[in-house]
Amino acid sequence: MEKIAIQVLFCYFFVVLLLLSGTAISQEVDDEIEFNYEEGGENGPSKWGELHSKWSACKNGRMQSPIDLLNERVQVVSHLGRLKRSYKPSNATLKNRGHDMMLQWEGGAGTLRINGIEYVLQQCHWHSPSEHTINGQRFALEAHMVHVSQDGKIAVVGIMYKIGRSDSFLESISDHLTQVAGSNERETVVGVIDPRGIKIGSRKYYRYIGSLTIPPCTENVLWTIVRKVRTVTREQVRSLRVAVHDESDTNARPQQPINLRIVKSYRPDDENQNP
């Protein structure tokens, strides 16, 4: 009997270990030095899947991101519902991961609820130009708010920006970006940051199943791309690039085949009745 109990206990710990390791693998890499965005280069996007066996999805995956959100293949629906965000201020650290700046909240900064599942907001980072496009149009910047559920599922909210008026959230962390740009430090503690300052400004959004856009390119990521394109200044876009110190003008992955995936566009019922 004691032997059986020991075997059961061993199996339990083995399963827990597998779950934890699976969750860890699903996350984006913290150090991006091993790859770059140089098209045709040895470590460029077309080669990511060959750099590590754990990154094979970057080459062989069938649900990769980013994609073009083309109106002709989008299903307009009203049943998805509004984004249920319950964010809160939390201590944060600004990290230079090698090709992007990541704002990471300690212990999470509130939740996003989708289909009854709560995803905790872990971090936000930026790509320039935008990785996703709308009807073939690319924008100056794209923010990714990365959320993770208790069982390791990933949900990302993408917000795109065109050149125009200053973005208030980026303005609020501009001093920290300047500090990173003038330092060799990879991390800077920035204190309490309220993610509610990252404005969305629209109830409409696109929804599809894709992947992380950097290695390991993990699939089955639930993507929500806000329909409204916000504004940012050229200087704000430049400050995000300068702070990274990678001497590159871009950190956007090329677009990936949509294959047989369905892209939905949420439009509230009241707007369907009154276009």
Q: How far apart are CA 222 and CA 158, in angstroms?
A: 11
Q: How far apart are CA 143 and CA 217, in angstroms?
A: 17
List Cα–Cα distances, 15 to 9, 152, 263, in angstroms.
Answer: 10, 14, 34
Residue 101 structure tokens: 């700046």
* pLDDT < 70 positions in the chain: 1-27, 29-32, 270-275
Residue type, 259: N
Task: Quote the pLDDT of residue 271.
Answer: 57
Task: Quote the pLDDT of residue 19.
Answer: 39
Task: Quote the pLDDT of residue 103.
Answer: 97
Task: Quote the pLDDT of residue 30.
Answer: 62
Q: What is the pTM of this model?
A: 0.87
> HSE-up of 38 (CA within 13 Å, CB side)?
11
How does strand 154-163 pair with strand 84-87? unpaired
Q: How far apart are CA 14 and CA 207, in angstroms?
A: 35
Task: Quote the pLDDT of residue 25.
Answer: 37
Q: Which of 236, 252, 264, 117 is nearest to 178 (CA)?
A: 236
Task: Quote the pLDDT of residue 185.
Answer: 74
Q: How far apart are CA 29 and CA 198, in angstroms?
A: 23
Biggest distance spanned by C-alpha atoms of the chain: 71
Task: Quote the pLDDT of residue 37.
Answer: 94
Task: Quote the pLDDT of residue 165.
Answer: 98
Q: Which sequence positions are flagged as catalytic? A: 99
84 and 266 in contact (C-beta within 8 Å)? no
Q: How far apart are CA 145 and CA 102, in angstroms?
A: 10
**Which domains are present in the chain?**
61-273 (3.10.200.10)
